[in-house]
Amino acid sequence: MPKNTRKIESGIETDFSDKMSYGSYLALDTLLASQQPVSKPEHHDEMLFIIQHQTSELWLKLMLHELRAVRRQLAQDNLRAAMKGVARIKHIQRSLTEQWSVLATLTPSEYAQFRGDLGSASGFQSYQYRAVEFMLGNKNAGMLKVFEANPAAQSMLAETLAQSSIYDEFLALLARRGFAVPAELLERDVTKAHVFNAELVQLFRVVYEAPDEHWDLYEACEELVDLEDNFQLWRFRHVHTVKRIIGMKTGTGGSSGVGFLQRALELTFFPELFAVRTEIGQ
């Protein structure tokens, strides 16, 4: 055997006629056949565009899987297990954010060759992304209308809209620990976005000013701040990647494009966890 060839060990499986293989376990035939460029003639860079977005949807699927588990663990007072889930989500976020650097290699002239073939398709229509925002607390019932043509997606989003967010569950856990969480937050309409509450800032101040006494809660607060920081970084990279590729053009889905995306940077999931920083040390 040539020196630069690795010998296949005798114990390695090579016959998969009646056994599960790597490809069958991962359904690779289906997965790898799902990249179907629509440009004609097919433009080389459309494959990048498709894989970028399909990969993002896979990561979003995993993020939703983890967020649902985090919500369950918080409801069961398993704070440490919930934070383990948050730690994994943070790594998923890092992968999602880094992917923008790949799409940013698409130049304006390259994208222009197939952008018109996308029709009205837009990332704005990602129902998994909307579900992630709902689970983090950015509820918006008006988004359900976008998915009327996809009943399964609309049903999943409606169910997620009606459920508590992970912030709702964290506040409920704090209340069970004996903290004076305002009643209106514990009894609120969870189909609406969380609104800043000044009383909650003072509650978090208690946690932050005595970290040794409330270490697990103190740590959990910082984990949630990390989660929001990462999400905002993803939004920021999204805005600048879009700006780099299409400038100030209108989005394919009908939005104003960059301007619309920039306004998302003003949204926050856990406002009191940021506001409390002004209070510390005063």
Q: Which residue shows structure tokens 């704090």?
A: 174
| Rounded Cα–Cα distance for residues 120 and 282 (Å) | 52
Instruction: Confirm or deny that 218 is annotated as ligand binding.
Output: no
- Check if the beta carbon of residue 119 is closer than 8 Å to that of residue 253: no
Residue 1 has what DSSP assignment? -
Residue 142 has what DSSP assignment? G
Instruction: Confirm or deny that 52 is annotated as ligand binding.
Output: yes
Instruction: Confirm or deny that 252 is annotated as ligand binding.
Output: yes
Q: Which residue shows structure tokens 């600048």?
A: 240
Report the residue count for the chain: 282
Give me the helices (H) in the chain, please. Answer: 22-25, 28-32, 46-75, 79-98, 100-103, 108-112, 127-136, 151-161, 166-176, 183-186, 198-209, 215-246, 258-264, 271-279
Q: Which two tokens stand for residue 98?
A: 């880094």
The torsion angles phi and psi of 259, rounded to 5 degrees, stand at -60, -40
| Rounded Cα–Cα distance for residues 233 and 227 (Å) | 10
Instruction: Confirm or deny that 76 is annotated as ligand binding.
Output: no
- Check if the beta carbon of residue 271 is closer than 8 Å to that of residue 224: no
- Measured N-to-C along each axis, helices 215-246 and 271-279 cross at an angle, to the nearest 10 degrees, of 110
Instruction: Confirm or deny that 166 is annotated as ligand binding.
Output: no
Instruction: Confirm or deny that 53 is annotated as ligand binding.
Output: yes
Annotated binding site for substrate: 49-53, 111, 115, 252
Annotated binding site: 49-53, 111, 115, 238, 252
Annotated binding site for heme: 238
